[in-house]
A and B are shown apart, each in its own frame.
Chain A
């Protein structure tokens, strides 16, 4: 395996006496995981967020018309969409939580 010279970033941070920016890191995490929460399904684009999941959960109908992130009314198979969004939400939030905990350790 060929490995080229690389900058020692740990030394760089130490030499520059740089301070870890929690606020920027937190904003970066939000930015990164926001894109992962977006999914396209059943002809619409959805955010796997608490609001959408809660909304889908509050109905018992098989099909439902829901406004997607592009403001289009899309007729969906409610339970199928709920399942996909819940799965995406769990996976993404678990990853986000783990990276956030790593960040908190730097405090």
Chain B
């Protein structure tokens, strides 16, 4: 008798972590980013959040494929307030998808480029290099005196033993962050996912580089002394509908300091994703400014 094998259809989706702080409404950023993800990547989004943050977006919860509530870890203090960025390691266990993208809520999805990451690896990949808009010659950031920083802004993983191991190691690094800060000579205190990921991946790889772990293009940052503005407003179709016609063109402005004088420079970009380091600028874009 001939046996037939059912073809398994892999599920794909995006995970966003959002926990409101006294300074920023990360939930609103997550809603905006999820809408952009639906438009440009055509993928469902799962939100990982806490009860209080979730309460603030109940009226737009349908933007998300699912919402997972977790207990927030309030132990990371930055600028005298809790910055809830710990717990990223939970992405592996909590993801309802076979193939997952974990994206920071302040990463502006403005193209379908990230879909390519699913073709890059059978297990895991993240960015290892950055490009600063208006400052292309900027050096790569180093973690203390040892490694160049890897970036947790965009992570792609597929359910696999290796990916599981990476996230378990990330948890271990988070729990022993001060110890690793001492080893790698960086300032501990405030936990950074980028550093946690750098250490975890290096441990899993036996302190060598595995090229397929790295996305072969740069993470584009809007960094220091740089502002970004939307050239046009986003439009909702109809006025209260769930279809969005997003602006894809942005003006980047840079304060070029030379001999104590500032000269403004600018350029225009379109159809390219970027990470906005200054949250206020991201909020400005969200509000069509």
Give the interface of A toward B (CB within 8 A): 1-7, 9, 12-13, 16-21, 23-25, 27-28, 31-32, 34-36, 38-40, 45, 47, 69-71
Contact = CB atoms under 8 A, between A and B. Distances in A.
Interface of B: 113, 116, 119-120, 131, 133-136, 211-212, 216-218, 220, 229-240, 245, 247, 251-254, 263-269, 271-272, 284, 287-289
Contacts of A25: 267-268
Contacts of B254: 21, 24
B216 A69 contact: yes
Contact of A19 (B216, B218, B264): B264
Contacts of B218: 31, 34
A88 B132 CA distance: 26
A52 B217 CA distance: 17
B267 A24 contact: yes
B288 A4 contact: yes
Name A's interface SS.
mixed
Nearest to A13: B266
B272 A28 contact: yes
A17 B234 CA distance: 27
Nearest to B272: A32
A7 to B, nearest CB: 5
Contacts of A18: 253, 264-266
29 contacts: A1-B238, A1-B239, A2-B240, A3-B233, A6-B232, A6-B288, A12-B253, A13-B266, A16-B264, A19-B266, A21-B134, A24-B136, A24-B254, A24-B267, A27-B136, A28-B133, A28-B269, A28-B272, A31-B131, A32-B269, A32-B272, A34-B218, A35-B116, A35-B216, A36-B113, A45-B120, A45-B212, A69-B211, A70-B212
Contacts of B216: 35, 38, 45, 47, 69
Contacts of B263: 19
A12 to B, nearest CB: 7
B233 A6 contact: yes
Contacts of B119: 39-40, 45
